[in-house]
Structure formats: C-alpha cells, structure tokens
Structure 1
Amino acid sequence: MGQPVIIQIENIYYPILAIVGVPANLATILVLSRGSCGLSKCITSYLVAMAMADLLVLIFTVILYEINDAYFPYSFLNYTPICSLNLSLGFASIDCSVWLTVAFTFDRFVAICCQRFRSKYCTKETAAVVIAVVSGLSILESVPIYFIYEPRQIIDNVPWSCCVISRFYTSSIWVTYSWLETVLTPLAPFVFILLLNALTIRHIVLANRVRRELRANNNAENHSDPEIENRRKSIFLLLAISASFILLWMVTFVSYIFLLFDDIQFLQANYNDPFTLMEQSGYMLSMLSTCTNTFIYAVSQSKFRAELILITKRPLGLITYLFKKVKWLH
C-alpha cells in the first residue's frame, strides 16, 4: 500500500522549501546586517532576528526532521534522544519566530501611534533586550516537549524515531501544558497581530485625514505630501509581514480552535481523518512563512533589492573569474 497523498506532497514540498528558504534567509541576514537598506537600527535588529529564527526553523524542523525522516529514516538523527531534542529545538524556533513577529508589530505600533513613548522604546538597545527575552522564553517554553516523545520502535535494543506518549492526552499536567502551548502559539500571537494592526491602521487613517485638512486650510499646493508618503512606506512593510503571517497561519489557527472546543487529539497520524489533513496542511503553510519575508523586503524596499543584487553579483563574478582561470590553464 502506497503512502497517503499528503505524505507524498510533503516529501516533495519540504526539500523545495529548504532549497528556497535557507539561501533566502541567509541572504536576508547578510543584506540587513550591512545596514545599508535605509532602515533604522531598531527595525533592522528585529528583521535580522526574525530571519535567523526562520533559518533555525528550516534547519531543525524542515531539514533535520521532515526531510531526514522522509529520506533517511535510519540515520543517527532518528535515534530517539536526538530526535526528541531536535523536535524541541524546532518548536522553540517556531515560537521564537512567531513571537518576534509580534514584537516587531508592537514596536511599529509604538513608533506610529505612541509618539511620547517612541523615543524611549524604539531603540536598538530595547530591541536587543526584547529579542533576548523572547528567545529565552521560547527555549524555556519548549523544554517539556523533549519529554513528550517515546521510541516509535526498538531495533537491537536501540530506540528509533519519535512518537507522542499516550499519557500526553490523558495526564492533567500534559493536558494543561498542551492548552498553554496552544494559547501561546499561535492563538495569542494571531490575536495580538490583528489587534495591533487594526489600531495602527486606524491611527494612520485619522492622522492622514487631519493632515490633509490642515494642508487644505493652509491652501497648500496640490502635490504629494512627503510625510504621508513616508507613513505609507513604513506601514506597507508592517502590513505585508503581518498579512503574510496571518494568511499562512490561518489554517493552523482554525485547527487549534477546533482542538480547544472539540474532542480532538492533535499530533495524530490518521491520514483518513479530516482534522489530521487540515492540521498537516496548516503545518505546511506555516513552514512557508519562514521564507516569505525575504520576498516581501525585495518587493517593498528598493535599497534591499540593490544590496541583494550587489552581494549576488560578487560571488557570481568570483565563480566566473575562477572558471575562466581554470579554462585558460587547460
């Protein structure tokens, strides 16, 4: 009997995601770290941290778990203690990526809507503290995940692969932890991002309306307002990142709502169950969010595009030079 269709799709999907996502995030980290994109140090710190978290998700979850499990089922990475560690680090990376998106959204909310607090909060130093706290809490939150797995099979007294322990669904401690984990990621971030964006958009619309009325009363000439244009650029980057997160996490969000209010178990392998198919599809889409930000920056930021082209040309030029040198020697 062949593999379920969803598994066949995953076996193709995850390698493509890794091939695209890893170079994209590495390029993003390199370009933004140069500090030549015209973004503030505060924004740059958040975007670099988000790219690093996304890269770790791709490494631990997509490459070392999904791809390894599909194509190298008996590699040393599938030894149960290593598999459990890898899964816990993967969950920590996902939590970190999600909450850094929330932190970035809150930072932009403060910058746009809270003028008096902006100068104190929207700094590189504050961003570094927030990133460190989010990273530390994400790791602590994911430590118990290491203990929810047991060997899927034992071969020659060696435990292989990982499956969820049965008491995870019945023990009051594990059920409570599952609820907390579900609320913390992705339910709370989803709500926070929607709320903060709604408040930010409302503030910008009202501020732009007041500014237009003032310019009209002052008989200002009918040409573009630089202040409004700057606001549009800053809000486009924020909304593009937030919208990408919301769309790609929507299916996962819905599946977790079902999980909270219905008698459903997650992390199951019953591929005839509609909930399992929805859960797996949502998981695949959420993984896609690890490589979309690079393309958002490339579309919305002309200086990012220029820097990206610049760092791309240099290695290509070096490869061309070495190729010509080798060809000349022969």
Structure 2
Amino acid sequence: MKNSLPRRQLLGGGLAAAALLPMAAPRAEAAWPSRPIRFIVPYPPGGSTDVVGRLIGQALSEELGQPIVIENRGGATATIGSQAVAQAKPDGYTLLLSNIASHAIAATLFRSLPYDPVKDFTHIALLVNTPTILVVNPSFPARSLADIVRLSKERPGGLDMASSGSGSSNHLLLVRFAELTGAKLNHVPYRGGGPAMTDVIAGTVPMMSDTLPSALPHLQAGSVRPIAVSGPERSALLPEVPTFREQGIDLINLPWYGLSGPAGLDAAIVKRLSEATRKILASAELRARLGEIGSIAGDMGPEEYTRLVREEMGRWAPVVRASGASAE
C-alpha cells in the first residue's frame, strides 16, 4: 500500500503554495473618457440653445474621441435638466449646458430652487456669449431707443413689449431698460421666443427682445426691424445696428452658456475638459460657425467661469425682484 499524506496536510500545503503565488493585480479603470458622454441641454430641441449645444457637442466629441449624446430636458426655466445633472454621479459622463437662466436668474426667480447654482456643480468653462437684440414690427414708427421711450410716454397705457417668458433674460433686459430710461412698458410674456416673434411679425405686439441667433432669420427676411443690440460692441452680422450704449443707455446683456458637471468631478477630468473646450473654442472653424448664428466664443476656465456664475447671480437678483416675476 502506497504511503499517502493525511488530507489536512495536503490542504495545508496547497494553501501555503497558493499564498506564494503572485496576487492578481486589481483591474485598472479605463482612462476617461472610455464611453459615450451624456450632454444635457436644458431646453427643447430646435432653439438657439439647442443649436449651440450641438455645435459644442460635435466639436468636443471629435476632440475627446468619444460620442457626445445630446439629451434635451427642457422645462421650468432650464432648471429640470440642470437638477438632473446636479444629482448625477460625478464620473464625467453627465455634463450640462449651463446658462444664465438656470445658474443666475433662477437663484432669485424660484422661491425654492432644487439646487445651489455654485455648490452643486463643477463649472468647467464659459462656452458662448449671445447678444440680445431689440426688434420691432416694420410698420412700427420707432427707429431708435429714444423713439421707443418717447412713444411709451406719449401713448396712453404705454407700449406692449413681448419676451420669451416671464423671468427670462429677454424679459429682464426690458425691465432694466425701463428702469434706466423711465419708459412705460407693458411686459407681454410668451411661452418661448418663437410664439412671441410670430406675434411681433403679425403686429399683435409691436416689439420684443430676443437672442440674436433666434431673431437673425427674421431680420434677414425683413420680417422685423432691428433697433439695438445689447453687446459691448456691434455685431459683425449686423454692423449697421447700434448698441444700447451707443444710443446713450448704459446697458449690456450677454446671455451666456457654459460647460458644467456635478459637484465633486475629479480634477483630472476637469482639466481634460477645460483643455479640450479651450482648444475647440480657439479653432477658426467653430468660431466661424458660432459667428454665423450670432454667438461669440467664450474663453474662461473653471475658476473664472465659477466666479462669473456667482457674480451673475448677484447682478440679476435685484432686476428679478424689480420685475415681480417668480416661479415655484
């Protein structure tokens, strides 16, 4: 009969030998980004914000080497989509087209905002500035801001002026305009810039403020007439249209869009995204495409953009309160 080792001795020896084998290395996490990135645009498809989001998304996708999937989540002054990003996992795979409405105006407009515009986000880059333009129906007699102020005081009840909605940056521009000039304006809010523009073209309302990208096709068609642009200088697309400042009113309004993620985003991801956005926004091709729709490429990194968000919250708070607009 052959000698055999006791079972316990065999097991013990096996365990000892196993202990001498090198341990399997932990599975390395793939470098970011290793899969598609969700880019939430907090407005419905088809508008100027959506166009900006898709231009940026396409350029970023090419730079990062991964698909960027646009997800339109509109509603509640851009706060629904913004809240979704604030609550997302901070892994770099959910990003937001943050903007003046969701991250500056909403802080005062909403009695109970479901997120903190600074603390609940990682702000990465300012992407785009978009001037606002004041337009009138072609039959309306005003040719300048001074004409609008004069007519508003001469006509009983003042002048009606439309916007894309109560508490929108377009509405607040009108509030500030009236504060600075004493113009008697009656705000007529619409559910979006499209319906408002339709009524201005029809003559139902004589004028409105709108973002330049939204108004541009109607200006080019001659359906409305421009009065003033809200940027610090004239638009290259409309060089004949003077600014508010040129007409004696110290008013600048540049609605902005930026790139943000949830709070706690890894510093390496923030750095990669910041470098990528700076690179694409410096490209002549993207700047030209943004310019074609009346937008201006931004140039701010994480610290500067975070500071801008904070400053804009303070800047617009008194104007929102003066407007009387509020949202639940």
- Band of TM-score, shorter chain: under 0.3
Structure number with the higher helix fraction is 1
Asked which structure has the greater CA Rg, the reply is 2
Q: Provide TM-score, normalisation by structure 2.
A: 0.25
